[in-house]
Amino acid sequence: MHELSLVQGIIDAVQETAEDKGARVKSFKVRVGELAQFDIRLIRELLSELKKGTPLEQAKTIVVRERSRVKCLSCNSEWTFADLVGPLRKNEKEMVHFLPELLSSYSRCPACSKSYLEIEEGRSVTVDEVELDV
C-alpha cells in the first residue's frame, strides 16, 4: 500500500509549510495524476484518517484527478494520454498502461505522425495549493 507512505508525506509537507510560516492550514489541494498508479479514493480516505489528531484535522482537503497531457516534440501538438492510447491493440495498451514511458514506442502524433512524444502532466502527485490562516 504505497498510498499510506504517500499520504503521510503529503501531511508532513503541508504541516511543515504551515510551521515555517507560523500559520494554521485552512485548506490544501492535492492533484493525483491519472497515470500515477495510485488509488485516488484510498488517498482521500487516508488523508481524512491520518490528519485526525494533527494540526491539519480541521483543514479542508481537496483531492482532484489531474488529466494527462502529452506533447509532440516535433510539431508541438498536445494530446491526452487516452487520445494516443485509444488506437492501440489490447496488449500494447496494457504495456503502456504499466510503463507510460513506452508511449513513444507504440504511438504516433495524430497531427504529424512522428513518435517524439513526451508526457507533460498527469504522472505525479502534488500538493497544488495550501491556504494558510496567518
pLDDT tens readout for residues 61-85: 999 999 999 999 999 999 999 999 9
Domain that holds residue 57: 2-67+123-133
60 lies in the same domain as 98 = no
6 lies in the same domain as 57 = yes
47 lies in the same domain as 97 = no
Give the whole-angstrom CA distance, residue 95 versus residue 77. 24
Residue 134 pLDDT level (bands cut at 50, 70, 90):
confident
Q: What is the pTM of this model?
A: 0.85
Average pLDDT over residues 119-134: 93
Instruction: Answer for the pair 55, 24: CB distance below 8 angstroms, yes or no.
Output: yes
Distances (CA, A) of 58 to 4, 50, 51, 109: 20, 12, 8, 46
Average pLDDT over residues 24-45: 96
25 lies in the same domain as 75 = no
